[in-house]
A = this chain, B = another copy of it.
Amino acid sequence: MSDTSALLPIVRTVADLRAVVRGWRRTGERIGLVPTMGALHEGHLSLVRMGKAQAERVVATVFVNPTQFAPTEDLDRYPRQEARDAELLQGAGCDLLFAPAPAEVYPDRFSTSVTVSGVSEDLEGRFRPQMFGGVATVVSKLLNMVQPDCALFGEKDWQQLMVIKRMARDLDLPVEILAGPTVRDDDGLAMSSRNAYLTTEQRAIAARLNVILADAAIRFRAGAALAEVEAEARDELLAAGFEKVDYVAVRMAESLAPMAENDAGILADLHNNARILAAAWLGGTRLIDNMAV
């Protein structure tokens, strides 16, 4: 179907990547970056389209970053489908795919890490203690490799987005971090590469996650006590068929700190600044979701 001349260019080395980007830069074009771990879905593609609205050129990266997986996690079975990913990226308007081998990203004697304290420590950071160190380090590397004007991340990984925003600000990275809204299937399930692991039966249960969170957010907004809202949502997830709930939490959206009550016992800055987040298991698959309260 597709014309060979229209295939998305793929580069494997930082040198080749920079050569292409330098050419664009020389003609004054703005550049957007969409870092991914591949196994692309509409969530990723929406970020590419958003990038094209911000910049003349969009680079996507596909790199399943080994340092953000714990030894017990799904690094080996994480879906890899580069040819399909390249075709989807091109359809969304992407200009270049950077798909390096691990040795290109982590050369011999690699010994530097970027760490973000505070915002990275609870929630995902508590259950996946390796992850955010790995994410902050690899994202700072990708930003330095490409030197884009903007980089786009999905709100689906809300805490990751907050960690990356904090890191970019703290390290004075000359880039704008932009967030794309979570893209959902018709039943509201947040799109995720890990949804591919689900059986038909699990898939039906998975769709309850977003509904239960939305209901909890409504109850909280209506005045229900924080601890009760969290406990009820947890019970509802278990009743729906999730086997384990790592957390359900209403937090300050940016810092992910616990909500602070003011003297009148009213939660501060509720309207703009609260987020409900959850992680729960179906079989060996861990799903996360979040939304504004």
Using CB atoms and an 8 Å cutoff, list the residues of chain A in contact with chain B.
14, 18, 107, 109-119, 136-137, 140-141, 144-145, 147, 166-167, 169-174, 255
Contacts and interface: CB of A to CB of B under 8 A. Distances in A.
A119 B111 contact: yes
A166 B110 CA distance: 8
B172 A144 contact: yes
B111 A114 contact: no
Contacts of A114: 112-115, 171
Nearest to A121: B111
Nearest to A143: B172
Question: 5 closest Cβ contacts across the A-B interface?
Answer: A112-B170, A144-B172, A111-B118, A111-B117, A145-B172
A117 B113 contact: yes
19 contacts: A14-B172, A18-B174, A107-B170, A109-B118, A109-B166, A111-B118, A111-B119, A111-B170, A112-B114, A112-B115, A112-B116, A112-B136, A112-B171, A113-B114, A113-B117, A114-B115, A140-B171, A141-B171, A144-B171
A18 B174 CA distance: 10
B119 A147 contact: no
Nearest to A115: B113
Contacts of A166: 109, 111-112
Oligomeric state, in number of copies?
A: 2
Nearest to A140: B171
A149 B26 CA distance: 16
Task: Classify the interface of chain A: helix, strand, loop or mixed.
Answer: mixed
A196 B144 CA distance: 39
A242 to B, nearest CB: 32
Contacts of A147: 174
A131 to B, nearest CB: 16
Contacts of A113: 114-115, 117
A76 to B, nearest CB: 25
Contacts of A172: 14, 141, 144-145
A245 B117 CA distance: 35
Nearest to A110: B170
Contacts of A115: 112-115
Given A18-B174, A112-B136, A113-B115, 5 more contacts: A107-B169, A109-B166, A112-B114, A141-B171, A144-B174
A174 B143 CA distance: 10
A83 B169 CA distance: 30
B112 A167 contact: yes
Contacts of A111: 116-119, 166, 170
Nearest to A144: B172
